[in-house]
Structure 1
Amino acid sequence: MSLRKQWRPLERSTVGRAPDAYGLYELGDSDGTSLGFGIGVLRDELKEALAYGEPAGFEPTSTEGAGEPTQVRWERATSKAHAERLLDEHC
């Protein structure tokens, strides 16, 4: 289940505005198709996504026809455990 947030462009300005806190993030392609979810410190994870396309802890929803991540949305968590619970709810 996708996050109920608007997509933001995966670019430096967006990453710079991401919280320096744990959370759940969802990456999407240019068509708005979800590519999958990940958890971690949001700013760090999104920096890695911007640089490499996919952070180490990212869980793709499908590898078939997956495009490059160009969009992101996230939900801030209060702790790593909370972020893990959010991931369980959305995957």
Structure 2
Amino acid sequence: MALRKAWRDLDRSTVGSAPERYGYYELGDGSGERIGRGVGILRDDLKEVLAYGDAAQVRWEAATSREHAERIADANE
């Protein structure tokens, strides 16, 4: 199962709009296929993905804590 949110282009603007809090994120290729996922501080993790990863799109769900983000991840395996 995947997040039921629209994909966003993975670019500087999108990363800049990501909250500086824990969350669960999914990474997609250019055709919208999920190619990765993770839990962490959203803006920090997405900055790293933008700089070093090969994803073209992203979507996320913000959380109140790391534990909450991990529960969201478990529900979206």
What are the Cα deviations for residues 20-44 of structure 1, in whole angstroms up to 9, with x where unaligned? 0000000000000011210000000
Distance (Å, rounded) in 1 between the aligned partners of 2:55 and 2:36: 10
Q: Normalized per residue, which structure has more helix?
A: 2
Superposed CA RMSD in Å reads 0.6
5 Å matches for 1:3-82?
3-53=3-53, 68-82=54-68
Q: How far did residue 2 of structure 1 move?
A: 1.1
Q: Alignment identity in percent? A: 62
| Residues in 2 aligned to 1:79 and 1:43: alpha-carbon distance in whole angstroms | 15
Counterpart of 1:76, as a letter, is: A
- Which contiguous aligned blocks of 4+ residues in structure 1 show a shift greater than 2 angstroms? none
Give the C-alpha shift of residue 48 in structure 1. Answer: 0.5
Alignment size in residue pairs = 77
**What's the TM-score once normalised by structure 2's chain length?**
0.97
**Structure 2 partner of 1:56:** none
Counterpart residue type for residue 4 of structure 1: R
AA aligned to 1:82 is: H
Q: TM-score, normalized by length of structure 1?
A: 0.82
- Structure 1 unaligned blocks of 5 or more: 54-67
